Amino acid sequence: MKQQCFLHKNFCKNQSPRIFMYFCAMQTNDIQKAAHIIAGGGLVAFPTETVYGLGANALNPEAVAKIFAAKERPSFDPLIVHIDSFDWFAKLTTNVPAEISPFLEQFMPGPLTVVLPKSDIVPDIVTSGLNTVGIRMPANDIARKLIQLSGCPIAAPSANKFGQLSPSTAAHVRKQLPNIDYILDGGSTSVGIESTIITFNNNECTLLRPGIITPEEIEKHLPLGYTLTTKKSKSIIAPGLLQSHYSPKKPLFIFDTLPSSFPPKSGLILHAEQAIPAIERSIFTSLNGNLLEVAAHLFSALHTMEDTPNIERIYIQSVAPQGLGIAIMDRMKKAAFQYQTENSQYI
C-alpha cells in the first residue's frame, strides 16, 4: 500500500540563496527564449498561478490556430487573452463601463478572467466568433515577464488536450503535449484550478465558471447597484461549463462517506488525515481539509493516479460545496461525469 501526501512546495523559498540566484538566472534566459518563440508565431506552455497555459500571440490568427490544433480543441471554445498591464484593456476591449475599473483593480493581477466586448484588433479565432473577449492578468511572475518580453497579449487556454486533466506542473504538460515548441518550467502552480470567469451585462455580473475567487468575494467588491448571478446566459458559449471536462483516463468516483472497502487496484484521494481501509494507493491533498491545499493538489493527485500503472479506478472524497468548495466540486463533477452511470449520486 502506497500513501502519499502533497504539501505546499515552494522551490524558491526552500533553496539556499546561491541556488535561488542560479534558478532566477536560468528562468530569465528561459523566459527570453520562450518570448522569442511567441513573438515568432510559435507555441509555448508557461506557468500561471492557476494552471499551465498553452500560449501564442493573441493578435496573430495563424499562431492562435496552432493552439486549437495542438489541443484538439473545438473551434467553438474561445480562448482567454493574458495581459501584463491595464493598458491592454483600452486596446482589446470597447465600451467597458468606467465603474467596473475599481472592481477589476481589486482582483487583477490574479486568478480572475473578465469577459468584455472585444475591439477589432482581437482576431475572431481567439473568441470563436463571439463579440466578447475573456481577459486575464496573471499574478505569476514568469507569466507576467513572458507577456512583457513577447510584446503582445498571449492567448492561452490550459495546456492540456481538450477534455483531459488540466496541468499543474511542466511534467503534466509534457505528458499530453510533447510536441509543442517550448515548455517553460516554473514548478507547481499555486492555485491549481482554472480562473474564476465573470462577465458584465448592464448592472449584472454573471459567474460563468467558479474558481478560487468565490461568489462571496465578488459580491463584496461589485460596484454599487450591481448584482451577481450564476444564471447561464444562452447567448454566451462557455464550454468551460460543459458537464464533462478535465477528465482522467481512468474511471473516477466521488463519495461523501468513506466506504469500508474498495475493489482491488483502486486509488483513493482524501482531503483530511483519517484511518483508511486497505487500498493500492492513497493520496492526501491536505491533512486538515484546507480547501486552498485541496484545490492546489487536486489535478496533481488525479494525474498521479492516472499515471500509476496498477491503479484501474480512482475514488475521491467530496468537499462541502460552499466558498472555494463550489469550484472544487465543479472540477470534480466534470472529471467524473463521463463515468456517471456508476456515479449517479452526483449527476
Question: Of these, 109, 210, 215, 240, which contacts ligand AMP (CB under 6 A)?
Answer: 240
Question: Of these, 67, 80, 83, 332, which contacts ligand AMP (CB under 6 A)?
Answer: 80
Q: Tell me how far apart the alpha carbons of residues 188 and 124 are, in angstroms, rounded to a whole number.
A: 32
Binding of residue 289 to ligand AMP (CB under 6 A): no
In the complex, least distance from residue 52 CB atom to ligand AMP, rounded to whole angstroms? 11
Q: How many residues does the chain have?
A: 347
Among 118, 120, 114, residue whose Cα is nearest residue 132: 118
Among 16-24, 100-108, 132-140, 144-152, which window interacts with ligand AMP (CB under 6 A)?
132-140
* Contact predicate 284/5, CB 8 Å: yes
In the complex, least distance from residue 92 CB atom to ligand AMP, rounded to whole angstroms? 11
Q: Tell me how far apart the alpha carbons of residues 308 and 237 are, in angstroms, rounded to a whole number.
A: 35
- What does 239 interact with, of Mg ion, ligand AMP, none (CB < 5 to 8 A by kind)? ligand AMP
Question: Of these, 133, 191, 283, 319, which contacts ligand AMP (CB under 6 A)?
Answer: 133
Residue 151 burial (10 A CB sphere; 0-12, 13-18, 19+): exposed
209/303 with CB nearer ligand AMP: 209
Place of cell 463521463: 338
Binding of residue 132 to ligand AMP (CB under 6 A): yes
Run of H or E including 301: helix 291-307
180/283 with CB nearer ligand AMP: 180
Residue 50 burial (10 A CB sphere; 0-12, 13-18, 19+): buried
| Opening angle at CA 245, ends 241 and 248, nearest 5 | 160
Binding of residue 282 to Mg ion (CB under 5 A): no
Among 16-24, 32-40, 180-188, 236-244, which window interacts with ligand AMP (CB under 6 A)?
236-244
197/324 with CB nearer Mg ion: 197
Binding of residue 236 to ligand AMP (CB under 6 A): yes
SS3 content of the chain, % helix, strand, coil (to 5): 35, 20, 45
57/195 with CB nearer Mg ion: 195
Query: Could you give phi then psi for residue 332, rounded to 5 degrees?
Result: -60, -45
Q: Tell me how far apart the alpha carbons of residues 149 and 33 are, in angstroms, rounded to a whole number.
A: 10
55/267 with CB nearer Mg ion: 55
Binding of residue 158 to Mg ion (CB under 5 A): yes
**SS3 of 51, please?**
coil
Q: Rule CB under 6 A: which of 183-202 touch ligand AMP? A: 194, 197
Binding of residue 157 to ligand AMP (CB under 6 A): yes
Among 11-19, 129-137, 140-148, 312-320, which window interacts with ligand AMP (CB under 6 A)?
129-137
Residues that bind ligand AMP (CB under 6 A): 77-78, 80, 115, 127, 130, 132-134, 157-158, 194, 197, 208-209, 236, 238-240
